[in-house]
Structure 1
């Protein structure tokens, strides 16, 4: 990291985020956003309820560490296998993460579809699920690669399904039922 990245990380770690907002450090930039709406939260709740607690930690409001990118995103849901990361602290290292879920909002479209896609692929997060209540689809990304034809990190496999259709999350051993997922009004 550069001196600027170190300073931004220091500022971020000491940032007092107003109630009702969340903040992320994405590639050295502090991004603040308003808290999610009800449709967003109901989608996250549905996903959490379907992932077996006996094998997985299903964490909301969990920061993930990508030190090489000066990034500490806070995905809508972070899934790690029990025992994969038992350390205490604010950050879970990216290599310990099995699945990240981002539920798209009107202000996060570019970040979720592009910036975080590259970030999670570069960090070798095995599964990235984008749930898009604007379009009514889920985009399942697997097989992260640091070098693709475009020269940017990306996922080799991409599968798009409409809300209401099942989404196989083989890595966590479930088929995600999306029947309850709703588009934004």
Structure 2
């Protein structure tokens, strides 16, 4: 007899708060993170080793240009977006340090000034669609570091309908990161990690 997954039918779907509590309490295996995407708990692996150099370089450049009171990090923290019923654990983010004064295990997505996602085969769709939609209503700058296409895209100027500005460059070309950062990002170290 082959074991098969059996769905459990419930009278009502779980609430966002219930799903968020479940994600917070999960003991994911080392190297994996859990997020709330499309109303489901999704467990995915952290970035590949070859992503480390561009991730560290991007973090250093963003930290040097971060708005006052904000810091850049790659620690595995969950940021919630209650209005969208989503919670994401970005690959890299810049956030107001006061977001970590609260109790609990997730931070408020409104405290983010920038998010960067490094695409992989398993996360690319969520990075380009689901997260773009949610971040585009609230987070000032969203960087999609497309490791399969060797390109980086900067989205900015959020609105209720999503980002109003988009710029894409190939790895190795400078990328203008708008306010609240306002600097030219050097992507020359990204080229060796792409594809």
**Matches for 1:1-80 after TM superposition, within 5 Å:** 3-51=14-62, 52=64, 55=68, 56-60=70-74, 61-80=76-95
Q: Give the aligned partner of residue 106 of structure 1.
A: 121
Secondary structure of the residue aligned to 1:180 is helix
Secondary structure of the residue aligned to 1:181 is helix
Q: How many residues align?
A: 176
Task: Write the distance in 2 (CA, Å) between the matches of 1:49 and 1:6.
Answer: 34
Question: Which shifted more, 162-171 or 2-11?
Answer: 2-11
Gap runs ≥5 in structure 2: 1-12
Q: Give the aligned partner of residue 9 of structure 2.
A: none
Task: Write the distance in 2 (CA, Å) between the matches of 1:101 and 1:24.
Answer: 15
Asked if the contact 1:9–1:28 (Cα under 8 Å) also holds between the matched residues in 2, the reply is: no
Task: Write the distance in 2 (CA, Å) between the matches of 1:53 and 1:167.
Answer: 14
Asked if the contact 2:47–2:118 (Cα under 8 Å) also holds between the matched residues in 1, the reply is: no
Q: CA deviation at 1:96?
A: 1.4
Task: Write the distance in 2 (CA, Å) between the matches of 1:29 and 1:101.
Answer: 22
Q: Give the aligned partner of residue 178 of structure 2.
A: 170
Runs (4+) of structure 1 exceeding 2 A deviation are 2-7, 53-56, 88-92, 182-185
Gap runs ≥5 in structure 1: 148-153
Cα gap change, 1:184 to 1:164, in 2 (>3 Å): closer
Q: Which has the larger radius of gyration?
A: 2
Q: CA deviation at 1:121?
A: 1.4
TM-score by length of 2: 0.82
- Provide, for residues 119-157 of structure 1, a one-character-per-residue CA deviation record: whole Å limited to 9, x for no partner: 1113x101000001100101110111213xxxxxx2111
